[in-house]
Amino acid sequence: MKRLLALLLLVLPLIAGAGEYRSSLVVQTGEMRESDLIIRNISDLDSRMTCLVFYIRTVGTSPVMTCYDATSGFGANINQIAHLKVKDLVVRVVEDSKNKQICLVAYISTPGASPSVACYTRQQHRKGGIVEEGHLREGDLEVYRVVDGPKSCLIAYVTTKGTSPSVACFDSKVGGKGGLRQLSYLREGDLVVRKIADFANAKACMVTYVSTQGTSSHLYCYDE
């Protein structure tokens, strides 16, 4: 009896201090399919947050999600506005016209691939579609520069099965000229690091990956 009383005295403070449970209603408010790419719009009805989830219809894929504030009510209005395919690389540009967001989605059309996404606010002076304006191949690494109106994006991926690309987007430099070039290279064990210069936009990018099948690259860009 004394042991039971001691146990109750120990548990009572924990019960009294427990936080209040609060539910949140999360629902799918839209869906779009473009060939092997699926985009689902997920909204939190208790807030102004809406999310886009991207994944590929292939075995071994993983989803990527990006979220932002809904400007009016909830949900999104998504349409594909540009498309580019170079070898195994697929690039799709989708616009959420309701929330003035544009997302560039890149993936490799091989089994096990996952997409990489970069989103930015729509600008009124956007003209034309997406075009390739630079390419670099160094060893097992492919790097493409694509231009979507006032934005330039670098896409890097490793030529191995099950790989996923990395994407970095930034404002295009007006009047900028020049291509892509590797400035430096480092290998330590299985780790590979390459420094790539985008001369047209005065950017330098560090690309890193592991030299094994199924690896994916990581891309980090900065002003040079």
The residue with tokens 């304006």 is 133
Decide if 38 contacts 80 (C-beta within 8 A): no
Question: Measured between alpha carbons, how far is residue 103 from residues 33, 129, 130, 167 in Å?
Answer: 15, 13, 12, 11
Taking the C-alpha atoms of residue 208 and residue 103, their distance in angstroms, rounded to an integer, is 23
Phi, psi of 31 (to 5 degrees): -155, 145
| CA geometry: angle 192, 199, 184, nearest 5 deg | 25
**How high is the pLDDT of residue 113?**
82
**How high is the pLDDT of residue 12?**
52
Handedness of CA 205, 62, 85, 102 (dihedral sign): negative
| CA geometry: angle 105, 111, 134, nearest 5 deg | 45
**Bridge partner residues of 52 (DSSP):** 41, 66
Question: Measured between alpha carbons, how far is residue 213 from residues 58, 160, 162 in Å?
Answer: 17, 6, 7
Looking only at the bridges linking them, the beta strands covering 101-108 and 89-96 are: antiparallel
Tell me the chain's radius of gyration from C-alpha atoms.
23
**How high is the pLDDT of residue 4?**
47
Locate all alpha helices (DSSP H) within the chain, ordered by sequence.
2-16
**How high is the pLDDT of residue 128?**
64
**How high is the pLDDT of residue 3?**
57
* pLDDT tens track, the chain, 224 positions: 555 445 445 545 555 555 676 666 888 989 999 988 999 999 988 888 899 999 998 787 889 999 998 887 788 999 999 999 998 899 999 999 999 999 999 999 877 788 999 999 877 545 667 899 999 999 999 999 999 888 999 999 998 877 889 999 999 998 888 999 999 999 999 999 999 999 999 999 999 999 888 888 999 999 98
Decide if 82 contacts 36 (C-beta within 8 A): no
Structure tokens at 124: 């009124």
**How high is the pLDDT of residue 59?**
80
Query: Measuring CA to CA, which residue among 133, 146, 41 is closest to residue 83?
Result: 146
